[in-house]
Structure 1
Amino acid sequence: MTDDRCFRIDEMDLDELRDRTRDQTLIDAFSNWIRNFAPHVDEVIAEISAAFANNKLRDGIGLFEATGLDDYASDEELRRLRASDEKLDWKRISTADLSRCYCSPSFFDPQGFVFHLPAFLIAELNDEHPYGFIDRIYRTEEHPEGWRALLTNKQRVAIIAVLELIREHPDYQHELDDIDASLERFRGAQSMG
């Protein structure tokens, strides 16, 4: 199994894993993922796309602007970067730009985080963003603070679908407590909103 693939693995990857390890528990876990959960990745991606379809950046921090903040750019440079940021349609953001700006999520404000959230989630679920964005949705420490409150119920449902999917992935088994706590928070917020 190649290191750059996580969610889009198949039987060939499983054969590779069998060649590399005799850990039957690990082999069984990945076999279970491939058979029962990998087929649902596209459904979850479709749910994310639909839930965030009309998401706009508004006055949130954009992808390139956030990279500029990381690089201690001048105010003039930040304005230039802001002008080049996508503000209306997150689907226009290329996976190459997401990868190039992999530190940006650390510098987003809540609106910027929510605007870019679907692009990063979909890229990671497609194994096109190897920098670990998904863990940001289940961290106990909310960063940036307040992003969850900006979600619509439909968006919360999409995030719940992501969390339910990844909690079944062998690579996330050591994160189950955090994932389950996050699921509880999102479900609670969904029933309130």
Structure 2
Amino acid sequence: MIKNIYTSARIYLLYNDYGAQSVYLYFIYILIMEIKTNKLYPCPCCGYLTLESQHRSTNLFCPICFWVDEADNSNWVGNRFLSLRQAQLNFIEFGACDQEWLNYVRRANERDIRDSNWQPVERLLENMKLKLIEKINQAFNGVSLEDGLSLYGARALDDWCSIEEARKISQKMTFEQRWQDIPSYFLEELGDSFGFLDSKGFRYYLPVFMIYSLNNNSGYAFTDSVYSALKYKPKFYQKHLALLNQEQLEVAQEYVKLIDSYA
């Protein structure tokens, strides 16, 4: 316990321009708080009961993974701008939230208790992903292409065909099918033409593109195009988004937030 607090004080001094006296006062204060209560709280990164307070911004370090229990708006660099998700992945891989702290951490032993309610961010995100896919299926169920531009037509438009020619190609090469039945290889072949879809084509293909990107970390550029269209270009896609109902818009917004969480 004392070693953990002393280490916290040393690191606190490292990143803050305070004198030694201030650090010793900080050390004594935390020591008093530790003696005052025996209750420990889970570290957000590793889940072990190592923190003396359940409130954020204590700036204490977990001795097992060395995650800093800092406020989100902290103005000093404790976690080196690491996301909690990345810190957890690092801990699983090499036993610390960051490689820089490998010499400071200790291995968990039989006396260390992991909070039974703690879940890693990756598992939480996976559960959120599955729930979102279910919402997408419900929100866009029954949506058809109608007379909208298909990906074949969008590809033709991308290749400098006129809109009239693109619509003819779209009608000629489009097969009547539910968007749920569109195969992945079709998206991978023509997905880079997503930005050339008209409003009805956008509404028809949007759910399958969102589900594909949630299920695949393939690096295909079109998955970024879908995310970018929803987050950064709402004015450009204003006519497209206007065709979506409220439930579909909310699902699209939830998709953007979830993708942001993976960053």
TM-score band w.r.t. shorter chain: 0.5 to 0.7
Name the CA distance, whole Å, in 1 between partners of 2:127 and 2:154. 34
TM-score with structure 2 length normalisation? 0.50
Q: Give how far 1:160 is off.
A: 2.8
**Correspondence for 1:35:** 123
Instruction: State the 1:153 CA deviation.
Output: 1.8
Query: Residues of 1 paired with 2:176 and 2:99: CA distance?
Result: 49
Structure 1 CA distance, aligned partners of 2:179 and 2:94?
A: 35
Q: Cα offset for 1:129?
A: 5.3
Q: Which residue of 2 aligns with 1:164?
A: 257
Q: What SS does structure 2 have at the residue aligned with 1:60?
A: coil
The equivalent residue for 1:63 is 151
Moved over 4 A (4+): 11-19, 73-78
Structure 2 residues not aligned, in runs of 5+: 1-87, 102-118
CA spacing shift, 1:143–1:61, aligned 2, 3 Å: farther
Alignment of 1:146 with 2:234, yes or no, is: no
Cα distance, 1:73–1:147 mapped onto 2, change above 3 Å: closer
1:99 to 160, 184, 188: 188
TM-score (norm 1): 0.65
**What one-letter code is carried by the residue in structure 2 that aligns with 1:108?**
L
- Return the structure number with greater relative CO, CA threshold 8 A, min gap 6: 1
Tell me, in whole angstroms, the C-alpha distance in 2 between the residues paired with 1:78 and 1:168.
38
Question: What is the one-letter code of the residue matched to 1:117?
Answer: L
Aligned residues: 154
Distance 2:182 2:148 in 1: 15
Q: Give the aligned partner of residue 187 of structure 1.
A: none
Cα pair distance change 1:14/1:52, threshold 3 Å: farther
The alpha-carbon distance between structure 1 residues 15 and 47, as it changes in their structure 2 partners (threshold 3 A), is same
Change (3 A) 1:127 1:76: same
Q: Deviations over 1:93-133 (max 9, x none)?
A: 11111111122111111111111000100000001653212
Distance 2:240 2:91 in 1: 37
Worse-matched range after superposition: 47-56 or 153-162: 153-162
Change (3 A) 1:72 1:47: same
Taking every aligned residue pair, what percent have the same amino acid on both sides? 24
RMSD: 3.2
- Deviation digits for residues 66-95 of structure 1 (CA, Å, limit 9, x no counterpart): 112112358668624432224541112111
Radius of gyration: which is bigger?
2
Work out the CA distance in 1 between the residues paired with 2:91 and 2:179: 34
2:179 aligned with 1:90: yes
AA at the equivalent of 2:259: I
